[in-house]
Structure 1
């Protein structure tokens, strides 16, 4: 069972993880994208297996294209299902986006926030859940072009899809902040006040690159900024319970100790807000 704070696993981290065990005040679980490991072998796979034996593993997909128009790849879904069963994984999430159109476009592209897209995407999510035989979570994504067809806000769209599909929400706190700065459509705290908190079962924290005052790029290549840390604390206070939260760092990797420190900061905020929640309930 996932709990506390985690870190996305990278092959270059194998030596750092080799003699570590889950730590309630630090790294408590890891996350991997199945696409990166379905056909991986050799030393990299042996290292991964060694770490996955000791750390609970979350599964975060990259290429199901939940909102796409190309048919769902059922054979690929079955491979993911085998991966999930092999590693006894209890959590799977995917992006609320699309990445194919008569073939892969290798990017997470935004969906128009329309009722037709709610119904289309939710139907595909229900199929994914049926094939995997498990409930999944959908992640809010960063995007850089806003559709003029929008019939609702981003958070209303996220809530509507999750409700129609009867799935959970994987809340990416950095993506909320990036989209707020880039588009100016919804303040970050208005977003978190409106999200269906009861469906939030998992969160991501990450850094971004600032290209201009009004342009942030969600690179996962920098430390988490202060504004995103503050927003994370606010989210933790609004949720009815503490949920597992992962630090994403995909490039420009610093020394492992710096990643551990950011994960420990996630854990400290979780523990502080959980204390506040208990004190409030006891009052």
Structure 2
């Protein structure tokens, strides 16, 4: 087992289709990689060897896809134990997951919003605390994109996120593209929302591109370049946090090639450097 190492700087999602280019050389701006442990834990053979070659040389972050922290079904403790073993084997210190639900008695393969109620705060926070116990570390929870507002809200979303973070004593994983997408789809000010979050708990940040439907609906696809308003929101987040936490570019589809991805990661790094100069 490797000693866990926390990432810093700007990073990129680790995708199998990028492996041929990454093997020839990692662009300079990329300081760490993000990986979905469900897709890699327990694998053997060539894929496992390739991953080991990278985790020996670069910091990694685990970002979960299927834990369903706010869901009605039993928490998948077997998955959490596999993830802990995987993280220990590869020296990965940070794990984050979505503040959403995606399963009842089976996986639904969709991230769904949690009702914004006091009962949901207590239910979700208890599951996060149990997940942290099983993983042996505090985790970051990510503000998720959504396309329908759950009924029966007793509070706003930012208030709900802050309440869960406080009740669970966990960390915040800030996704600025999700925040922007939701603000456009539901008509609220993303900067006001940003400042209502418990930013002092921020451990990790995502930035990504999205797709605009013909009717104007924004869809969080991670399949396009980051647009200027999202870059502006990222810069505002760094100012509000007072530092530049590790930040990952998400690009899951329509891969443009490593050179272009490296350029976008480089833009993250420049915004981080500017934030650190202001904080000095």
Q: Do the two structures share a fold, i.e. TM-score over 0.5?
A: yes
How many residue pairs get matched?
Answer: 275
CA contact (8 A) 2:175 2:207 kept: yes
How much has 1:22 moved relative to structure 2?
7.8
Q: Does 1:177 align with 2:176?
A: no
In structure 1, distance between residues paired with 2:56 and 2:73: 36
Match of 2:3 in 1: none
Match of 1:125 in 2: 128
CA contact (8 A) 2:172 2:201 kept: yes
Match of 1:227 in 2: 229
Following TM superposition, the consecutive aligned residue runs of length 4 or more in structure 1 with deviations greater than 6 angstroms are none
Mapping for residues 6-45 of structure 1, pairs under 5 Å: 6-20=11-25, 23=28, 26-45=29-48
In structure 1, distance between residues paired with 2:191 and 2:226: 17
CA contact (8 A) 2:122 2:164 kept: yes
In structure 2, distance between residues paired with 1:75 and 1:39: 12
Counterpart of 2:257 (choices 239, 255, 258) is: 255
In structure 2, distance between residues paired with 1:173 and 1:63: 21
Map Cα deviations across residues 110-129 of structure 1 (whole Å, 9 max, x no partner).
11111110000000000000
Q: State the SS of the aligned residue for 1:54.
A: coil
Mapping for residues 172-251 of structure 1, pairs under 5 Å: 172-184=175-187, 186-212=188-214, 214-251=216-253
CA contact (8 A) 1:11 1:48 kept: no
In structure 2, distance between residues paired with 1:178 and 1:242: 22
CA RMSD of aligned residues (A): 1.2
How much has 1:171 moved relative to structure 2?
0.3
In structure 2, distance between residues paired with 1:32 and 1:141: 18
CA contact (8 A) 2:180 2:190 kept: yes
Q: Does 1:59 align with 2:92?
A: no
What TM-score, normalized by structure 1, do the two folds share?
A: 0.94
In structure 1, distance between residues paired with 2:42 and 2:91: 18
Map Cα deviations across residues 34-85 of structure 1 (whole Å, 9 max, x no partner).
0000233332222221111111010001111000111112112111110010
Mapping for residues 58-77 of structure 1, pairs under 5 Å: 58-77=61-80
Residue ranges of structure 2 left out of the alignment (5+ in a row): 1-5
CA contact (8 A) 1:66 1:95 kept: yes
How much has 1:21 moved relative to structure 2?
5.6
How much has 1:19 moved relative to structure 2?
4.4
How much has 1:276 moved relative to structure 2?
1.4
Map Cα deviations across residues 248-281 of structure 1 (whole Å, 9 max, x no partner).
0001100110000000000000001111121xxx
Q: Does 1:276 align with 2:268?
A: no
In structure 2, distance between residues paired with 1:270 and 1:48: 27
What TM-score, normalized by structure 2, do the two folds share?
A: 0.95
CA contact (8 A) 2:80 2:131 kept: yes
Residue ranges of structure 1 left out of the alignment (5+ in a row): 279-283
Q: Does 1:48 align with 2:57?
A: no
Q: State the SS of the aligned residue for 2:203.
A: strand
Map Cα deviations across residues 75-105 of structure 1 (whole Å, 9 max, x no partner).
1211111001001111000000111112111
Q: State the SS of the aligned residue for 1:145.
A: coil
Match of 1:281 in 2: none
| Residue range with higher mean Cα deviation, 37-46 or 233-242 | 37-46
In structure 2, distance between residues paired with 1:71 and 1:158: 21
How much has 1:147 moved relative to structure 2?
1.6
